[in-house]
Amino acid sequence: MSIFRKLKEHFVDVLYIWRQEMKQVVMDEGVLMFLVVLPLGYPLLYSWIYNNEALRETPVAVVDQSHSALSRQFIYDCDATPDVHVKYYAQDLDEARSLVSRQLVKGIYLIPSDFADRVNRGEQATVSVYCDMSLMLAYKSVYQTAMVESMRLGAGINIKRAGNYTKHEDAITAQPLIVDGIAMYNPLGGYGSCVLPAVLMLILQQAIALGIGMSAGTARERNRNGLLIPDDDPHYRGAYRIVWGKALCYGMIGAVAAAYISMAIPHMFSFPQLGDWRTLLLMLLPYIMASIFFGMTVSCLVRYRENVMLLMVFVSVPLLFLTGVSWPQSSIPSYWQGVSWLFPSTFGVRAFIRANSMGATVSQILPEIRILWIQAAAYLGMACLVYRYQFRMARKYAND
Amino acid sequence: MKYISQIFDIALRELNILRKNRIYGFCMLVFPVLLVFFFTTMLDEGVPQDLPIGVVDQDNSAMSRGLVRTLDAMQNSRVEYRFASVTEARCAMQEGKVYAFLYIPKGTASKLLAGRQPEISFYYTMTCMTAGSMASKDLKTLGTLGSAAVGQAMLSAKGATPDQIKAALQPVTIDAHMIANPQSSYNYSLTTVFVPGILMLFMALLSAYAVGMEMKFDTGKEWLARADNNIVVAFLGKFLVHALVFFFVIFVYQYYIFNVLHFPRLGGVWSIVRLTILQVASSLGFGAFAFGLMPSLRMSMSISSLWSVLSISMCGSAFPVAGMDPPLQAMSWLFPLRHYWMMYQATVLNGFPVIDVWFHLVALVAFTLLPWLVLRKIKNAMLNYVYIP
């Protein structure tokens, strides 16, 4: 047989397998759910959940035992901030505590009876802040508001004491050194803008892996001898054509899902979008390929189709942690860093955040892109090994 | 008596199933152990420490170097890079090398001493909120210290006592009491919701799986026959084993975090036991209900897994429910994990009386009883449906 004929035959087989796989995806509602509904619906839902970005007006209770102009000033100032809302005045700490217990407030400001007296005597006065630690965001609002307002109150007291002549002198008394803090790439400090890009990329990988796993499980249940490929179909003759045929099918779906997830969703919910589409393309291409071949490799572990669900659902939250979005990468123990190298999501998420949220150029995310290509190649090799084994088994059964 | 012996008989049968199908062993024992190990080691630091931070020091004065040294000495920060320009620092941030950088322009020290109000800036990335807010906290403190240094030198030159200096620099201070988590450790707040959350996910998925597999392998009729076609008895027998295994797993987890790792809690042992019983019962109930809604192994498991993964966000432990849109706030009631977590933080973490969260307790009981609505449908499915792969 001439090389040309052979190539053509190979090509036809790949296309045939692509079509078969596509048919299977469309016919199977379980696979369809994970490959279409999941990447379409979940990003919308998650974006909606985190759409408000920040927690505003955290309710607090105040126990004002000082009843002075100064203490009232402090309470007004706190109430006027966007983060804290003084919802209750309690007579004593016990009453305030019962308000926390009934989930009505998230913190207590206790102003002791000698508060104003101490300030007027030139001593240091104290406001006690009691925080409910069950919600980290609420704790930060309650504590930081009190902190900032106490410093402002103190600056005001200092200005009065200084007896300056000009406004400029007052400003220098209040703040001899101006410190300007600038939050970058997520200026509001929003929770959604921070977590969502990571969640979106993770959804992409999980959807692809779940879809491949489910359809492999179905194939095992349908084919004789629990094989991943039918042993009586002449087109399934060779590991490469099977792997490429399948990859074309999932790559097609993955490409649409990736475009939707990386461009449409951030646009709809106005998440940071500094990335250039060419950079995103260069990073998403190896990511989708690595995810597909990763999914194929994992699918060989699946005996029943439902098991892949248990496996993938189990790893999704730990995988999010391994990307370094909820917990800083520099604080991840080294052995978990090592484990994180096994998953495309680790580098896909990092590259996407840097390119999309932080506007990094290709050369700045080159290390991540390189690792994604290495992962794609390694998992491709493994997927070929898996299917070569399956192919040999199929031939053995066919010959018997 | 008859019922008890039937329940016992079915429980033994279930035990045999659990032993034969390896997936149960993985999901009930191996994965939970891995999970607890993962989160407790991952978050072992409690608060991120020694975050890499850059410095652009164009002043190069004794004062600016002093500031950089102080920053390096702080708990959360480590000065890892020194950059020549802001652009260089920004590029390093985009490459993920630093989480923040401090910019001290030329002439800061001399302006400060001359009383011309110089300005220093710090830039931090909020693409990782934990790191960004920790770094910004340190840098903010540093700025306050820089300001205070001037005043302190002046006051001590005038002969003020240390107490007077303290009162003059900071007339009002905050005395923070972080109840039940004094280190503000992320380990205490995240591990205690993610581990139970994923365990609840397994419970719900496995209960749908266990019922669904009866249908898939057409053993449902035999299962019901052992209970004389009494579906309630059949269910009790089946889930008794699941519940006992998960009780055991959860108690081991709780013993580990509270007695070995010494996680803080103000609630007593009874509050933990009560919560665990509700946790297991409601999750099993939810999974069985999902199967009853759609008596197909694949659909019910898909629904429970999608729902349970969502519940980790919807329980409001990371982003609070109070900050979500009103329709989502209402929807949060439909997630067992939400009620579990509310009860956990009120009764176990803070040690408040259970009466203050009675509605969450009622909700968990309701989840436990949900399968009641679909028992007949499940029975019908077991006896008449045929599994289609």
- The larger pLDDT score, comparing residue A119 to residue B150, is at A119
In this prediction, residue A199 carries a pLDDT of 92
Strands A107-111 and A125-132: antiparallel
In this prediction, residue B170 carries a pLDDT of 87
**Mean pLDDT for chain B overall:** 90
* B205 and B162 in a common domain: no
A270: left (phi over 0), alpha (psi -120 to 50) or beta: left
List the single residue in B121, B139, B175 with the smallest CB-CB distance to A129: B175
In this prediction, residue B101 carries a pLDDT of 94
Residue B2 reports pLDDT greater than 70: yes
| B305 lies within 8 A of chain A by CB | yes
What confidence tens digit (pLDDT) does each residue in A10-58 have? 888 889 889 988 988 888 887 888 888 889 999 999 999 988 888 889 9
In this prediction, residue B129 carries a pLDDT of 87
Element (H, E) at A60: strand A58-64
Which range, of A60-64, A124-128, A392-396, B234-238, averages the lowest pLDDT? A392-396
In this prediction, residue A52 carries a pLDDT of 85
Other C-beta atoms closer than 10 Å to the C-beta of A4 total: 8
β-bridge mates for residue B77, sequence order: B51
* B198 and B110 in a common domain: no
Touching B: A residues 203-262, CB under 8 Å:
218, 221-222
The length of chain A in residues reads: 400
- The larger pLDDT score, comparing residue A375 to residue B384, is at A375
Q: How close, in Å, is residue B157 to chain A by CA atoms?
A: 16
β-bridge mates for residue A107, sequence order: A131
| Domain assignment of residue A21, yes or no | yes
| B112 lies within 8 A of chain A by CB | yes
Strands A178-184 and B119-125: parallel
Using the CB atoms, write b or e for B182-214: b if 16+ within 10 Å.
eebbbbbbbbbbbbbbbbbbbbbbbbbbbbbbb
* B127 and B200 in a common domain: no
| A54 lies within 8 A of chain B by CB | yes
Q: What CATH number corresponds to the domain at position B152?
A: 3.40.1710.10
Which range, of A183-187, B148-152, B310-314, averages the lowest pLDDT? B148-152
Other C-beta atoms closer than 10 Å to the C-beta of A324 total: 24
Could you report the predicted ipTM of this complex, rounded to two decimals? 0.90
Which range, A201-205, A303-307, B225-229, B385-389, is most confident?
A: A201-205
What confidence tens digit (pLDDT) does each residue in B46-74 have? 889 899 999 999 999 998 999 999 999 99
Other C-beta atoms closer than 10 Å to the C-beta of A146 total: 26
What confidence tens digit (pLDDT) does each residue in B202-235 have? 999 999 999 988 888 888 888 888 888 888 899 8
Judge residue B388's burial from the number of C-beta atoms within 10 Å of its C-beta, 0-12 exposed, 13-18 middle, 19 or more buried.
exposed
Residue A353 reports pLDDT greater than 90: yes
* A361 and A243 in a common domain: yes
Last residue of a domain, one of A150, A174, A198: A174
Which range, of A113-122, A310-319, B43-52, B293-302, averages the lowest pLDDT? B293-302
Q: Structural domain tally of chain A?
A: 2
Q: What φ, ψ does residue A126 adopt, rounded to 5°?
A: -130, 140
Element (H, E) at B269: helix B269-293
In this prediction, residue A119 carries a pLDDT of 93
| B64 lies within 8 A of chain A by CB | no
Range of the domain at A158: 58-174
| Domain assignment of residue A193, yes or no | yes
- The larger pLDDT score, comparing residue B291 to residue B149, is at B291
Q: Residue A71, SS3?
A: helix
Residue B388 reports pLDDT greater than 70: no
Q: What φ, ψ does residue B265 adopt, rounded to 5°?
A: -155, 140
Element (H, E) at B175: strand B172-179
Residue A235 reports pLDDT greater than 80: no
Q: What average pLDDT does the segment A292-301 reach?
A: 89
Last residue of a domain, one of B136, B169, B202: B169
What whole-number distance in Å separates Cα of residue B55 and Cα of residue B71?
Answer: 10
Last residue of a domain, one of B129, B144, B169: B169
What confidence tens digit (pLDDT) does each residue in B165-180 have? 888 888 999 999 998 8
Q: What CATH number corresponds to the domain at position A94?
A: 3.40.1710.10
Range of the domain at B320: 2-44+185-384
What percent of chain A has a predicted confidence (pLDDT) above 90?
54
* B82 and B59 in a common domain: yes
β-bridge mates for residue A130, sequence order: A108, B177
What confidence tens digit (pLDDT) does each residue in A131-179 have? 999 888 899 999 999 999 999 999 999 999 888 899 988 988 888 888 8
What percent of chain A has a predicted confidence (pLDDT) above 70?
100
Q: What average pLDDT does the segment A344-357 reach?
A: 94
* A204 and A156 in a common domain: no
- Are B292 and B371 spatial neighbours (Cβ–Cβ below 8 Å)? yes
What whole-number distance in Å separates Cα of residue A69 and Cα of residue A87?
Answer: 19
| A160 lies within 8 A of chain B by CB | no
- Are A241 and A17 spatial neighbours (Cβ–Cβ below 8 Å)? yes
> What distances in angstroms separate CA A357 from CA A137, B44, B135, B140, B274, one per listed residue?
22, 29, 19, 24, 44
Other C-beta atoms closer than 10 Å to the C-beta of A124 total: 17
How sure is the predictor about B269, in pLDDT bands with cuts at 50, 70 and 90? very high
Q: Looking at beta carbons, which residues of chain A come within 8 Å of B299?
A: 29-30
Residue A270 reports pLDDT greater than 80: yes
Judge residue B99's burial from the number of C-beta atoms within 10 Å of its C-beta, 0-12 exposed, 13-18 middle, 19 or more buried.
buried
| Domain assignment of residue B38, yes or no | yes
* B94 and B12 in a common domain: no
- Are B214 and B67 spatial neighbours (Cβ–Cβ below 8 Å)? no
- Are A31 and A25 spatial neighbours (Cβ–Cβ below 8 Å)? yes
In this prediction, residue A1 carries a pLDDT of 62
Q: Looking at beta carbons, which residues of chain A come within 8 Å of B164?
A: 122
How sure is the predictor about A386, in pLDDT bands with cuts at 50, 70 and 90? confident
* B252 and B278 in a common domain: yes
* B78 and B39 in a common domain: no
Q: Which two tokens stand for residue B201?
A: 């996910």
What whole-number distance in Å separates Cα of residue A363 and Cα of residue A192?
Answer: 27
Q: How close, in Å, is residue B2 to chain A by CA atoms?
A: 35
The candidate with the shortest Cα–Cα distance to B122, out of B166, B168, B74, B169, is B74
* A379 and A255 in a common domain: yes
What confidence tens digit (pLDDT) does each residue in B90-133 have? 999 999 999 999 999 999 999 988 888 899 999 999 988 889 98
What whole-number distance in Å separates Cα of residue B42 and Cα of residue B40?
Answer: 6
* A47 and A87 in a common domain: no
Q: Residue A130, SS3?
A: strand
Other C-beta atoms closer than 10 Å to the C-beta of B324 total: 22
Q: What is the 3-state secondary structure (H, E, C) of A230-257?
A: CCCCCCCCCHHHHHHHHHHHHHHHHHHH
Judge residue A147's burial from the number of C-beta atoms within 10 Å of its C-beta, 0-12 exposed, 13-18 middle, 19 or more buried.
middle
* A266 and A215 in a common domain: yes
* A201 and A159 in a common domain: no
How sure is the predictor about B389, in pLDDT bands with cuts at 50, 70 and 90? low
* A135 and A35 in a common domain: no
- Are A177 and B109 spatial neighbours (Cβ–Cβ below 8 Å)? no
Instruction: Report the C-alpha dihedral over residues B112, B117, B122, B126, rounded to 10 degrees.
Output: 150
Provide the H-helix boundaries in chain A.
3-27, 29-32, 38-49, 69-80, 93-101, 115-121, 136-162, 167-174, 191-222, 239-259, 265-268, 277-299, 307-322, 334-340, 344-352, 366-399
The candidate with the shortest Cα–Cα distance to B316, out of A190, A271, A49, A202, is A49
Q: Looking at beta carbons, which residues of chain A come within 8 Å of B101?
A: none
Last residue of a domain, one of A174, A208, A223: A174
The length of chain B in residues reads: 389
Q: Structural domain tally of chain B?
A: 2
Contact B136 A151 (CB under 8 A): no
| B161 lies within 8 A of chain A by CB | no
> What is chain B's Cα-based Rg?
29
Which range, of A22-31, A326-335, A370-379, B349-358, averages the lowest pLDDT? A22-31
Residue A203 reports pLDDT greater than 70: yes
